[in-house]
Chain A
Amino acid sequence: AQSVSQHNHHVILSEAASLELGCNYSYGGTVNLFWYVQYPGQHLQLLLKYFSGDPLVKGIKGFEAEFIKSKFSFNLRKPSVQWSDTAEYFCAVTPKGAGKSTFGDGTTLTVKP
């Protein structure tokens, strides 16, 4: 079975700071990778996804993530965060071939104005 580890439980940044949230997974086969965001009081929304091709994936709101296969990592990045990026971020892994998603525990991002 696959597992997902998000190293940072709570990250606090000032506006305009750069962001990198770590995500590592363990699974023996090929996977699809996702980052989801949950803003306060709202449900989960998809930020970006990787299925194949270019390992650098760009998502909404200026977010990007890089899939490094050798490191089993899919870290989320944003060059300059805004106060509105304050949210919970979840990394998820789905084995290719209709497997279910496994989620990390989430990282809470707080951006100070």
Chain B
Amino acid sequence: GAVVSQHPSWVICKSGTSVKIECRSLDFQATTMFWYRQFPKQSLMLMATSNEGSKATYEQGVEKDKFLINHASLTLSTLTVTSAHPEDSSFYICSARDSGTPQHFGDGTRLSIL
């Protein structure tokens, strides 16, 4: 079946650094990718929707300059957390789909900011 690879699976870094998370569709073209954030004991919260070749659409309350999303190809989207701080520590999960097909989830990235 379709596979979405998310990398890295866990990253620990110092406050103030930037972190890039990759989301790749391995065997299908992902015209749309979603980025979610999950706080402990809570459900997923959609951060943004990205369509290949166009700017991401951010949900209300999500800082565009803080969470940079690039969807430059049909198989890759990246989320960069800029100048990360401890409150940015969370699970970040991407999902991808082609038009008219089901959504497939990555395994998530656990981000820990010290």
Contacts and interface: CB of A to CB of B under 8 A. Distances in A.
Partners in one complex: yes
Contacts of B34: 43-44
Given A43-B46, A44-B95, A98 B103 contact: no
Contact of B103 (A32, A38, A51): A38
Interface string B81-114: 0000000000101010000001101011010000
A106 B103 contact: yes
Nearest to A35: B43
Interface residues of A, number: 22
A101 B38 contact: yes
B93 A101 contact: yes
Interface string A32-72: 10101010000110100101000000000000000000000
Interface in B37-69: 38, 40-41, 43-44, 46, 49
8 contacts: A32-B41, A43-B49, A44-B36, A46-B44, A92-B44, A94-B38, A98-B40, A100-B108
- Shortest Cβ-Cβ A-B pairs, 8 listed: A98-B40, A100-B108, A46-B43, A100-B91, A103-B105, A43-B46, A43-B34, A106-B102
